[in-house]
Structure 1
Amino acid sequence: MNPGDRVRVERGGVENEGVLMPSTTADHLVVKLPGGYNVGVDRDEAAVELLERDVHDVDGSGEDGDSTIEFDDDLPTVSLISTGGTIASTVDYRTGAVTAQFDAEDVLRAVPDLAGRANYRGRVVANILSENMTPAVWQDLATAVHEEIEAGADGVVVMHGTDTMQYTASALAFMLDTPVPVVFTGSQRSADRPSSDNVMNAVCAVEAAKSDRADVLVCMHASSSDDACALHHATRVRKNHTSRRDAFETVGAEPVGRVDYEREEVTFRRDGPARGETELGLAPDLETGVELVKFTPGMDPAALSYLDDAAGVVIEGTGLGHVATDWIDRIEELVDQGTVVTMTSQCLEGRVCDRVYDTGRDLLEAGVVEAGDTLPETATAKLMWALANRSDPTAAMRESLAGELQARSVPWV
């Protein structure tokens, strides 16, 4: 028996029928039941009957984590790149915890609805939960996406954990010039749960990757229902709920597009770069000595002493971009030593404006760079990129490089 085979397992008078999962081990069989749940059964105590071979037909992995399935010349080619996360996770039956174990090929087995929509190339860049994501992995991922497009991929889907997806997606938007869609997707709930969003998100992401919009996008549930996914611009998206399936929202605007799940129809609200319009390019260098600091009332400026060697600092200030008066001298010291200090706001809507109150004007005098309505998380990735790739990073932080800085803080239409 092999993963992908349909089996009937009997143990202790209880019979289960389903598909043998790739997470099966020498000691345990893991079977996906028709209802969506996985069940683990001790091999030594189970009677197993093979019902059907290769229910999900995916070829074996190649070298270096690459894998392919049989190609159809009439279909576009979509590269599936896995970094781990809940969309590519399973249950560890030793602990009951959800762990990132699947590679891209396993996702094809776990989401059979992807079959027939495209030719797929599978590639594993990392196999981690997203809290373990690092700028070094961003660089590996950007390079992998560039290589896949260079090799002929008509679109790329990046499977990523949701907790830090907004950081990675925005980082790639700065590092990569792409002539094809690059679509991030993930799952709020693991594949063994009946309420999992992994199937619809993956299917909608593939449909978006086949579209004519050459941009870096995030594709996640548009509502709690299984009817459509929203397409968010990578530098304007934020995860705003811990567990809802529609946790991701475009801040300060409407989502850039939508994928109707049943109709398999992709629509866009606003114009953007068309397929083939942009020349493929990669600028993966990052200055990782950048810190994101959240100001809180009464916070001791001495807490900023660890920033002495920082190349850049992004501050989440209050309201229009303020901190306590006793922070200003410390910020000026950082600027004088060569640190680029950028101001963002803790508010989810609106923009920084340090010309309204005395504190703001003092911050500008100290050398703080206003980031407009750039999201703090996006500003962090942008400053890492700007310090490594622009001769004047302070000017870059005032410009919109990848759609992160809107001309006005009103909803797009």
Structure 2
Amino acid sequence: MSNCLETLKTDIGDLVEITTKEEKTKSETKTSTTYKGTVMPCLKDDVIMIKMSSGYNAGIKKEKIEEIKILSAGETPKHVKTELNIKKEKKLKNISIISTGGTVASRVDYKTGAVHPAFTADDLIRAVPELLSIANISGKAVMNILSENMLPAYWKEVAEHIENEIKNGADGIVIAHGTDTMHYTASALQFMVKSNVPIILVGAQRSSDRPSSDAALNLIASTKFATEGLSGVYVLMHGENGDEYCYLHKSVKVRKLHSSRRDAFKSVNAQPVAKMNMLSKNKKTNEKDYKIEYIADERELKQNITDNSSNVEINTNLEEKVALLKIYPGINSDILKYYTDNGYKGIILEGTGLGHAPETLFNGIKYAIDNGLLVAMTTQTINGRVNMNVYSNGVELQKMGVISCEDMSAETALVKMMYLLANYNLEEVKELIGKNTVGEITKFSLIDLN
């Protein structure tokens, strides 16, 4: 029992009613509030957490509690697994679901709100039974981290697990991932893994304990696409804030553009690859039907598949001494000198507008390039293309040796530079950084993407 719960004489799982101390409002009226819910594990010693019947969590500071009533004592939380007898279906493809963490394929103790990984095949099917009709599922957790703690070393680890799963007979790979840095991982895998097997990253914006969770539908849709015989790496997330459809995005052209909406991921300077609509229930099977619509050319997506055999090749060499630097008013050249003097090999600038940087930064940029660093330019506008031929600022940057990344996102450019610098010499990298290699740069800018 935590110090918080011990002093309040309650325990995890107890159903409690908490009344707060009276506080004066702006109108000088004294009010108190009553909360009713199930006690959850404390995150801080001075705050008690409860899960209310609405499904939302509430945190109440101990110092504000006037009275706490235990309405019923809680039981020790336990997860009872139902017996499953799952047989492989010859007509279905074999899909491996790999977890790196996140909430998309976890189970929740609804009594306390505690989230637990659900990563055996049986656990996944208990959580999302619809998977049984889509594919033969195998599941494993290769790590369990918050995606903000993702490292390039972990990208390599995931790539190695992908290679093993494909060599062991997987027809498709689904990677469950936290959403914060999922687009970085997706880009890294696109550069590191060459395979004719679809590799699809999937996340969830809302945790599994919330009525508005997007986890189940995202997992169903990603597994469905993993059976489609595509080649390459993709990201699958909700296409709108309801539950009508999901979008499949190209790994190197997608970005998280909202902190909390279920349709937070958007294709940038490109359209989604495909869309999966959730239809009404099939009257014969009483199960929901799903319809896939390809937005990109389906033949192009499957062009690398020449036979029914699966193949995979990975290259996990990455140069980690690469920096991503956002340009802002007042930025000082000292930061560029720091990177240069501390052994960095490359810098991606996230410039303003068409790809600009203030003149006060010119000496620092020149210092970096003169000392052998590769410096390339993206734009912080997110949408649009770098064009350093329009204004004198961009022309001067090019004269120094700054290379345009065209319509590549800053995140993809960072990962691409890491990959190129580890596998090619500097002159080769200068040629390749601004050229399309895996779909990261489009030849023409699309006028209307909405």
TM-score when scaled to structure 1? 0.82
| Max Rg structure | 2
Query: What is residue 202 of structure 2 aligned with on the other side?
Result: 185
For residues 37-59 of structure 1, the C-alpha deviation after alignment (integer angstroms, 9 at most, x for no partner) is 99xxxx98549999xx854638x
Query: What is residue 326 of structure 2 aligned with on the other side?
Result: 294
Query: What is residue 336 of structure 2 aligned with on the other side?
Result: 304
Q: What displacement does 1:11 show? A: 8.0
Query: What is residue 419 of structure 2 aligned with on the other side?
Result: 385
Query: What is residue 169 of structure 1 aligned with on the other side?
Result: 186
For residues 99-155 of structure 1, the C-alpha deviation after alignment (integer angstroms, 9 at most, x for no partner) is 674435444332222223211121222101100101001011111112211211111
For residues 175-217 of structure 1, the C-alpha deviation after alignment (integer angstroms, 9 at most, x for no partner) is 1111111111000011011100000000000000011321211
Letter in 1 for 2:259: T
For the residue of structure 1 that corresponds to 2:133, the secondary structure is coil
State how far apart, in whole Å, the 2-side matches of 1:406 and 1:71 are. 41
State how far apart, in whole Å, the 1-side matches of 2:363 and 2:233 are. 39
Q: Is the 8 A contact 1:256 1:268 kept in 2?
A: yes
State how far apart, in whole Å, the 2-side matches of 1:119 and 1:152 are. 11
Query: What is residue 296 of structure 2 aligned with on the other side?
Result: 270
Answer yes or no: is 1:241 the counterpart of 2:270: no
Q: Which runs of 5+ in 1 are unaligned?
A: 1-9, 14-22, 24-34, 59-68
Letter in 2 for 1:360: G
Query: What is residue 24 of structure 2 aligned with on the other side?
Result: none
Q: Is the 8 A contact 1:253 1:411 kept in 2?
A: no
Q: What displacement does 1:344 show? A: 0.3
Q: What displacement does 1:393 show? A: 1.1
Q: Is the 8 A contact 2:97 2:175 kept in 1?
A: yes
Query: What is residue 208 of structure 1 aligned with on the other side?
Result: 225
Q: Which runs of 5+ in 2 are unaligned?
A: 1-12, 17-40, 42-53, 58-71, 280-288
In 2 relative to 1, CA 289–86 (structure 1 residues): closer, same or farther, beyond 3 Å?
same
Please show how residues 311-330 of structure 1 align to structure 2 within 5 Å. 311-330=345-364
Q: What displacement does 1:302 show? A: 1.4
Query: What is residue 402 of structure 1 aligned with on the other side?
Result: 438
State how far apart, in whole Å, the 2-side matches of 1:102 and 1:316 are. 39
Letter in 1 for 2:292: V
In 2 relative to 1, CA 208–56 (structure 1 residues): closer, same or farther, beyond 3 Å?
farther
In 2 relative to 1, CA 316–276 (structure 1 residues): closer, same or farther, beyond 3 Å?
same
Answer yes or no: is 1:57 the counterpart of 2:84: yes
State how far apart, in whole Å, the 1-side matches of 2:166 and 2:78 are. 43
Q: Is the 8 A contact 1:188 1:244 kept in 2?
A: yes
Answer yes or no: is 1:223 the counterpart of 2:257: no
State how far apart, in whole Å, the 1-side matches of 2:106 and 2:197 are. 27
Query: What is residue 99 of structure 2 aligned with on the other side?
Result: 82
Please show how residues 105-116 of structure 1 align to structure 2 within 5 Å. 105=121, 106-116=123-133
State how far apart, in whole Å, the 2-side matches of 1:325 and 1:412 are. 33
For the residue of structure 2 that corresponds to 1:81, the secondary structure is strand
Q: Select which of 138, 153, 159 maps to 1:121.
A: 138
Letter in 2 for 1:273: L
Letter in 1 for 2:353: G
In 2 relative to 1, CA 327–104 (structure 1 residues): closer, same or farther, beyond 3 Å?
farther
For residues 349-398 of structure 1, the C-alpha deviation after alignment (integer angstroms, 9 at most, x for no partner) is 21111111111111111111110010000001111011112231111111
State how far apart, in whole Å, the 1-side matches of 2:266 and 2:77 are. 46
CA RMSD of aligned residues (A): 3.4
Q: Is the 8 A contact 2:110 2:209 kept in 1?
A: no
Q: Select which of 363, 373, 388 maps to 1:354.
A: 388
Letter in 2 for 1:298: G
State how far apart, in whole Å, the 2-side matches of 1:12 and 1:236 are. 47
Q: What displacement does 1:322 show? A: 0.5
Query: What is residue 370 of structure 1 aligned with on the other side?
Result: 404
Query: What is residue 159 of structure 2 aligned with on the other side?
Result: 142
Letter in 2 for 1:387: L
Q: Select which of 316, 320, 323 maps to 1:284.
A: 316
Report how many aligned residue pairs link the two structures: 373
Query: What is residue 61 of structure 1 aligned with on the other side?
Result: none
Q: Is the 8 A contact 2:167 2:311 kept in 1?
A: no
Q: Is the 8 A contact 2:55 2:209 kept in 1?
A: yes
Q: What displacement does 1:92 show? A: 8.7
User: In terms of mean alpha carbon deviation, does 233-242 or 388-397 score higher?
Assistant: 388-397
State how far apart, in whole Å, the 2-side matches of 1:215 and 1:226 are. 26
Report percent identity of matched pairs: 38
Q: Is the 8 A contact 1:82 1:104 kept in 2?
A: no
For the residue of structure 2 that corresponds to 1:87, the secondary structure is coil
For the residue of structure 1 that corresponds to 2:224, the secondary structure is helix
For the residue of structure 2 that corresponds to 1:235, the secondary structure is helix
Letter in 1 for 2:305: G
Q: Is the 8 A contact 1:81 1:122 kept in 2?
A: yes
Q: Is the 8 A contact 2:172 2:199 kept in 1?
A: yes
For the residue of structure 2 that corresponds to 1:261, the secondary structure is strand
TM-score when scaled to structure 2? 0.75
In 2 relative to 1, CA 176–100 (structure 1 residues): closer, same or farther, beyond 3 Å?
farther
Q: Select which of 216, 229, 233 maps to 1:199.
A: 216
Q: What displacement does 1:300 show? A: 1.4
In 2 relative to 1, CA 133–381 (structure 1 residues): closer, same or farther, beyond 3 Å?
same
Q: Is the 8 A contact 1:99 1:129 kept in 2?
A: no
State how far apart, in whole Å, the 1-side matches of 2:153 and 2:113 are. 27
In 2 relative to 1, CA 45–280 (structure 1 residues): closer, same or farther, beyond 3 Å?
closer
In 2 relative to 1, CA 57–387 (structure 1 residues): closer, same or farther, beyond 3 Å?
same
User: In terms of mean alpha carbon deviation, does 382-391 or 266-275 score higher?
Assistant: 266-275
Query: What is residue 7 of structure 1 aligned with on the other side?
Result: none
Letter in 2 for 1:217: Y
Q: Is the 8 A contact 1:37 1:191 kept in 2?
A: no
